[in-house]
Structure 1
Amino acid sequence: MKLYTFHQNQGTKITKFDSNFVMSKIVQTNQEAHVGCMYLGEKGIIGYHQAVVPQLLMILKGEGLVKGEEGEYVPIKAGEAVFWDKNEWHETKSENGLVAIVIESPELEPAKFMHLKYQ
C-alpha cells in the first residue's frame, strides 16, 4: 500500500485556450481502465478483499481509514489517494462517510505523476 496526495498546490496552472484552472495529473494508461465513484455513508466499508488489478482510490470528500496487507489502519482524507497492487489485500472504512474515485487498470503507475504522502 502506498499513499499519495493530489492537492491543488501540487498541480499545474493551465491557461491554454483562455483557461484558468489547476490540473493535478493522476495517471495515464494505454490499456483499458475502469473508473468509478464510490459513496461510503456513515460507518461505510469496502470490505477486506484482494485487488483484481492495480487500483487507485482517490478521496474527494470526507475521511476514513485504509489498510493493506500490513494490517494497520492508516487515516486518509480528501486530497489523498491510496494505491494497491494486484492481489494485495485491502480495506477502506469511514465513520462519517466519504466520496472517492477509484481507477483500476493493469498498468497503473501513480508514482509517475503524484507525490508520495510519506517520503
Structure 2
Amino acid sequence: MRTFRFDRAERPIPAYDSIGLVATRIAAGDGRVRLTCLTVEAGGVIGTHQAPSSQMFLVTAGAGWVAGADGVRAAVHAGDGVVWDEGEVHTSGTDGGLTALVIEGAPLTLFDPAA
C-alpha cells in the first residue's frame, strides 16, 4: 500500500489565459490515460480551449461553472461531473474556488445512475 496527497498544487497553469489555476499530476496509465488534480482559486478561470483528448472533469470541492463553445454557463458543485469529447471547445471558472479531478485520454463510458 502507498498513500499520497493529490492536492499538492505543484504547477501553476497559465495556458489559454487561465487565471488562478494550479495542477498536480497524479497518475498516468498505459496509452493516453492521465489523472490530474486541478485547483482553481476564487475568481479563477480555466481559459477557453479545445479538449486535446476526451476529458472527464469531476468537481470534488467547491463550486463553479462550465461552458461549451456557445459560452452558456452551467453551474457545477462538488459531486458533479462533466465530460468533453476530444476537440470540444470549453471553459470553466469559479467565484469561490473549486477542486476537480480530471481524467484525460481514451474515451470513457459513463454508467447510468443506479435506479
The equivalent of 1:49 in structure 2 is 49
Scaled by the length of structure 1, the TM-score of the pair is: 0.66
What residue ranges of structure 2 are gaps of 5+ in the alignment?
1-28
What is the identity, as a one-letter code, of the residue corresponding to 2:38? Answer: M
Instruction: Give the greater-gyration-radius structure (CA).
Output: 1
Scaled by the length of structure 2, the TM-score of the pair is: 0.68
What is the identity, as a one-letter code, of the residue corresponding to 1:72? Answer: V
What is the identity, as a one-letter code, of the residue corresponding to 1:46? Answer: I
CA RMSD of aligned residues (A): 1.7
Question: Where in structure 1 do 4 or more consecutive aligned residues deviate above 6 Å?
Answer: none
The equivalent of 1:69 in structure 2 is 69
What residue ranges of structure 1 are gaps of 5+ in the alignment?
1-28
What is the identity, as a one-letter code, of the residue corresponding to 1:102? Answer: V
TM-superposed CA distance for 1:44, in Å, is 1.0
Contact 1:31–1:107 (Cα < 8 Å) also in 2 = no
Percent identical: 33
Structure with bigger RCO (C-alpha 8 Å, 6+ apart): 1
Greater per-residue helix proportion: 1
TM-superposed CA distance for 1:70, in Å, is 3.0
